[in-house]
Structure 1
Amino acid sequence: MKKLSKYVLLVFLCIFTINAQDKIEPEIKVTARNYGDSVVVRWAPNTPTLWLLCNKYGYKIERVFYDVIGTEDDEKTVERTVPVRDAIFKPLTKEQMIERYKDEKHPQGMVATEFLYGEIDLRGDEVGPIADLKAKEDEQNMRFAYTLLAADLDPDVADAIGLRYSFKIRDMKDIQDSVITLRITPLVDTSIMAVSPVTYHIDISFINKLYLKPSRLYTESGDGHIKLNWLRDNYFTAYYIERSTDSINFTPLNTKPYFYSDEKEEASDNADYDYDMDSNSVKTDLPETDLADSTQIIHYPKATRPRFTESYISYIDTVPNGKKYYYRVYATDAFNDRSDYSEIVSGVAEKEIALDPPSDFKAIKIGPNKVKLTWKEPEHKDKLQGYFISHQHTFAQEHIDFLTEELLPPGTKEFIHDNVKEGLYNIYFIYAVDFSGKYFPSKVATLYLNDTIAPLPPKNVSAVVDSSGLCAITWDHNEEDDIEGYKVYYSMNLDHMFNQLTDVPTEMNMYLDRVDPSLLNKEIYYKVVAVDRAGNHSDYSEVAVGKIPDFHAPVKPLVESYFVGNDEVKFTFIVDNGADIKKHYFLKRKENAKWDTVRTITSAEVENFRINLVDTATSEAGIYEYCMQSEDASGLFSSPSQVVTVKLNERNNTELFIKLEAKYNSKDKKVNLKWKKPNFSKDFHYVIYKSTNNDGWNMYESVDKETLEYNDSQINESTNYKYKIVPYRMGAKIGNGEEVTISIP
C-alpha cells in the first residue's frame, strides 16, 4: 500500500518537480494542457491531510485580469478576478457518485467512490492506541492514493472529485496577450492549515501535446518466459503492453492499466543496481519487414559495470521456448492522454544454461604497489560477453570501485592492478557477464600489502584540566587514510620518560585523563602518536601542557605566642608562605559575633614565616576572639588558626596623628621632611609612606620614635610626590599622618 501511495503521488506530482528529500509543505499543485481548441486544467493537493480538508471545503477557480488604469503619465495595473463558475469545485456526495457510476461504464469511478466514502479497516491483528493511529494513517494514505490514481485514469472521475476544469478557448473572452490566467484557491481555514492560492498562466498559443513515450526497453530470456524491462518514468500513470509475432500486427497483453512490477520481483531487481543502457544497446540486423526506417529492434543490453542508479519496470510474459516475439509499450499520463509507442524490442524464451563464474581467481604481489590478478575462464564461453573486476578494502565498504571502464574481452586471463596502496586489505571479485546482462561473481581473492611508511605525528595537540581534575587531550585527525588510531602518553616531569595511557590505539581524536588531586605538580605533559594499520608508529607529537588547578588549600596558620596587656594584645603567627600564597587575614570578633578583618597581610610582609601583630583596646571593653586565615592564588582558604580569647579594657588615649612639613631643596635635589613627636609613652616607630605621580601609597622607609626628620634623595625632575608619616606599634598601625604634596620642576 505504501508503495502504491508513493507511486501515485509521483505520477501526478512529478510534473511539478517535487524533491522527495525536502520537507513537503502543504500546497496545491497545478498543471494544464492546451489541445489547440480547448484546455484541460488538473490540480491536486500534495498531502493526504490537505486533500481531506479540500474535499470538505472545496476550491474556487477565478480568471485573473490585469487592467491598466490611469493616465499615460501615471499608469497603474489593477488585478480583477471573475469566477469561472458559481459552484465551487469539490467531490460529489456519496449518493451522487453512486448514481453517476451505477452503469459501471467508468470502473475508476466505482474505485473513487469506494475510497472516498467506503469503510476501510487496516488494523489487522495489532491492537492498542498506537496500532489504531497507524491504521488510521494507512487508511488516509490509501484513500488519497487510490482516489488520485482513479482521477488520473479517467477524466470523468477527475471532474467528479473536483480536481479537473476544462474550457473551449473560443468561449473565453478578453484574452490578454494570448495568456489566460487562472487562480485556484483552496477554501480551507488557514488557521487549521496554512495553504496559499495558486496563480497559473496558460499560453494558448502553445499547444503542449504529450511527446514523451516509454523508453530504454530491453528483454531478458528465461525458461518459458520473456521478461520485458523499460525505464520507470514518473510522468506516466499507467502502461499498456502489446506483443507481436511478426513485429507488425500487435495484440494487447493487458486490458487493465499496468502500474509497476510485482513488489517482490521489483525489489529483487532493483535492490542492488541496474545497467547503463544509454550507449550500450546492441542493434541487430532486422528481418525484411515493412517497419518504418525510424523503428529499431533491440535484442539485449550490452552489460557494463553495475551502477546504483535508475529504476526499471518489468513485465513477465509466459511464452513457449524457441519462438521470437516482439514487444512495444505505450503509456497514459495524468490527463489520461496516450503516449506514442515505444521502440520495438524482441526476445526469445529459452532454457537457460547458466554461465559459470571464473575459477581459480588469485591476487599476487608482483612489485611495489602492483598486484597481478589471474583466473581461469568459465565453460560455455559462447555465452560470455566479458569480465569486470571489483575492488574494495573492507566487506562493509559502501562504495565499490571497478578497475576497468569497459568489459574485459573473452580470452582475458589476467589483469595488472597498479598504484595499490600499502597497509590496506585488498578484496577482489571478478564477474563473468553473459549477453543478457547477468553476471556471475567468482570467489573472493584477497591480498595485504605490507606498509613500511610511518604516519606523520599528530598536530595541534592540547590539554585542558578542569576544576574536577578531568583532563581533555585533543588533536587533529591525521590526513593519511590508513590510520588505525592514536596512542596517548603522559609525564609529570618534562625531562622524565613518558608513560602510555591508552591500552590500544583509540580511533577518536580525543582522550580523557583523570589527574590525581593529591599531586602537588602545577603542570602535566602529554604526547600523542599516530599508528597505521600496518602497525607503523609516528614520532611523538609536540608536547601539550595541561595546567593543573590548585586542589590544596594553604596550611592552617599556628599561634606561636600572644601577650595580653591592659589595652593591647600582641600576636606572633606562623603561616604557610609558599609561592601560591596570596594573602593572610587577621580576624577579630566580639565573643560569638561575626568575624571582622582587622588587617590583611601580603606574602611580601611575612618574615621567616612569621607575622607579628598588635591590636589595641577598642572603645568598648569586653571579651574578644582572634585568629588568622590564609588564602592562595586559586582562592582556596586554609582552616582558621587556633582561636585566642582575651579580655580587653577600654582604651583611653586617642589615635595618634602626625603633622608633616615638606620642602624641596633644589640645590641638593632632596626633599626634607620634618614632624613633631606625639605625646605617647609606649614604644613605637614611624613608617614613611611615599606616592609618585599618584600611583598609590608605598612603604618607603621606617625610622625609630626619636627620629623627627628625613631627607629623601631619590627624586626625579618633573615629578609629583606625596608623603605621610604613620606611627606603628608592634607591627600595628596606631595612628595616621598628614598628606603633603611636593612638585619637582
Structure 2
Amino acid sequence: MIIEKTRHTILQKCLWVLVYFAVSFQGFSQRTTEDPSIRVIARVQGSKILLRWAPTTPSSWLKSNKYGYQIQRFTISRDGKLVSPPEKKVLTTTPIVPMGLERWEYIASGDDYAAILAQALFGEGFEVEGMEEEGALAQIVNKSREVEQRFSFAVFAADMNFEAAKMAALGYEDTTIVPGEEYVYKITTAIPEELLKVIPGSIVIKSQQPEPLPAPIDLIAVPDDKIVLLTWDYGMFKSIFTTYYLERSENGNDFKKLGDLPLVNLNDKPDAAKQRMQYIDTLSQNNKEYYYRVKGISPFGEESLPSKVVSAKGIKKLTATPHILKYTLEDSGAVLIEWEFLKEAENEILGFELNWSMQKKGPYIVVSKGLLPSSRKTRYQKLAASNYFTITAIGKNNQKKESLSAFVQTIDETPPAAPLGLTGTIDTLGIVTLKWDANTEKDMLGYRVFRGNLAKEEVSQVTISPINKNVFRDTVQIKSLNKNVFYQIVAVDKRFNMSEYSEKIELKKPDVVPPSSPTFSNYNVSDEGVFLEWIMSTSTDVKYHQLYRQNVQEPDKGWHLLFETEAGTTFTDNTIESNTKYRYAIFAEDNSKLRSEPSTPITIVYKKATPDENLVKGFTAIADREHQKIDLNWRKMPSEVTEILIYKAIKEEKPVLWKQISGSMDSLEDRSVSPNTIYVYYLQAMTDSGSHSVIQTKEIEF
C-alpha cells in the first residue's frame, strides 16, 4: 500500500520533482569530491530543540540506515558563563535507525512526502521515468542512478515533513533542554571505520526563544498577455528556506496556493549567478486584477510569514508592427520617411516615434515624438553622412513594437585633404607618438594610420577603424633588425571618402640593444706573462673592445681596465704577480655607449718557475720487462716540496697528467705499459710557496 501510494505521488503529483532531481539537488544532497560527512541544522521550538541532518553521499546514507546514528550534546555555557569542561550527554543510548515498514503505513497514507520517504527506504524499485536504459552496462548505471534518486528524494521529503524525517532517522527532538544554556550537538554514524569513514557533523545553538521565520522579500509581478511573471529574492534566505509556496487571491484577502507542491530553485548551484526565483502564472483573461504573496518553507516544514502583497493584471499584447516603406531626400536637405501599419490596430496604440542613429546597431535616439496613430510619414532635417531610422509603435499598455532599420545616406563624393604637419618621436620603450594638423572639413570622421619598416615598401594600416584625434600612439619592437620605421596618415570623412596619403616620415629607433659579446679564442701562460686572443663582437656599431682583469684573491678591488682597442684581437699581460689567481673578461661598447654582456671569463693562476733549476735531481726511468713495468726514481725532495706532478706521453703525442703525488715520495711504478713503445715522462715539483721547478724529462723504450 505504501509503495503504491508513493508511486502514485511521484508519477502523478511530483513530475517537476522528477525532472529537478535528474539535474541536481540543493540542501543536504549537494555532494562534492570530499570525504563523506554529516551536515546538521537546528532550530529552537518552544521547550525543545529540533535537529535535522543528512549524510552527503548516497552510499553513506545507505550504510547509516543500517548501522544508525548517535547524538551527543555538550553544554558549553549556562546563563552566559562558560562551562569548563563542557558537560557531555549521550542522547541516543543506542544508534537510531529508520523505523520499520509497518510504522510508516499510517503517516504515508496521509502525507505525500512521508510516502516518498517510505518508498525511498523500503520500495523494491525506485526509477525516475525517462531515465531507464537497456543493456548490461546500462543496468549498472541505472542501479547507481536509483541509489542517488532514493537518496535525493529522501532528503527532500525529510525537509518537507519533520515527523517523517524523525522516522527516517534524519531528525530528532531534544526535549531535555534548559533555558539559558548553550549546546554543541554532535552527530556521528555507527558505521565501522574499516567499512566507511564518515566525518561527524556538529552545530552550536542556544536554548532561547527563537525569532520567527522572516517573510520573503522583494516580490515583483510583471504582467504580459494572459500571464504574470512573479519573481522574488532567493539569495537572501537560501540558508533558511528550502522551498516556497506562492499564493494568489482575486480580492486581496482570500489567498490560495498555486499548486499542491512547493517551489524549488532549479538553478541553485554554488556558482549560480541568479539570486532570484521565478514563476509564471497563466491567466484565463486579461484586464483582471490578481493579488500575490509568497511564503517560505524551512527544512523543519515550518511556514514563514507571507511576503508583501503585489498585484497585476494581464495585458493584451501589441501584435501589429510598423514597417518603413521608403524615404525621399528633399532639396532642402531633409528626408521624408514613410511607413505602413495595420489600420485596424490603430486603436491599440497611442502613436508613433521616429528613432535615429549613425550606426545600424545603435544606440538609437528618439528624434520625433507624439506622432498620431493615423500618421504614416514624417520629416527629419538634421541628416548626417550616414543615417539609420526606425519607427516605433507605442501601445496603450506601454508596449512597444519597433520596425526594422532603414538606411539613409546623403550624397558626398569629395574626399578630405591629405593631413599635413606629420611629426613623431620614439622613446626607449618603443612607444611612438605621432602628431599632425587637424583637418578642417565639417564632415570629418577620423584618420587612418599606416606603418612600414622599409623606405620603399607599401605601408600597412595599423588602426582598426578611423580615430577621431590628430594624435596617435603606436608601439614598435626596439630590439629588431630594422633601425627605422615609416608612417603616413590618411583622412576619412563620414561618407568614408579617403584623402591622399600624407607625406611619409622616417623615425629612427633609439639604440637600446647592446652589442653582442666578444669571445676568447686562445690564451697561453708563460714566464713572460699571460697571452690572450679573442674574436671581436659581430655587431656593426661597435666602437671599442675593453679587456678587464680581476685579482680573484682580492675581489673587493673589483675589475681593472687593462686594454682598450678599436680593432685589436690580442694582448699580453706582463704586469701580474707570481702565485696569484686572475680572471679576465672582455666587453664590446657601441657608439651609443651601450656595453655588451661580458665574454665567458678566463681564470688562470700565474706561477713562475723557481730559480733553482736543480730542485729535481736523479730522475731515472728503468724498464723492468720481466715484471712488465717501468720504475721511476728520483732523489728525495727538499721539505718545501709539497707535491709532485708526473705527466706521461707516448713519444710524439701530447702529454697528459698521469700522477699527482706527495712531495715526500721518491719512486713510482708504471704498470700500464706495452712492449715496443717509447714512453716520455715529465716530472715537476711544486713548493709550498706556489712556485714550481723546471720540468725534468725522461724517455725510455719498453
Please give the TM-score of this superposition, normalised by the length of structure 1: 0.44
TM-score by length of 2: 0.46
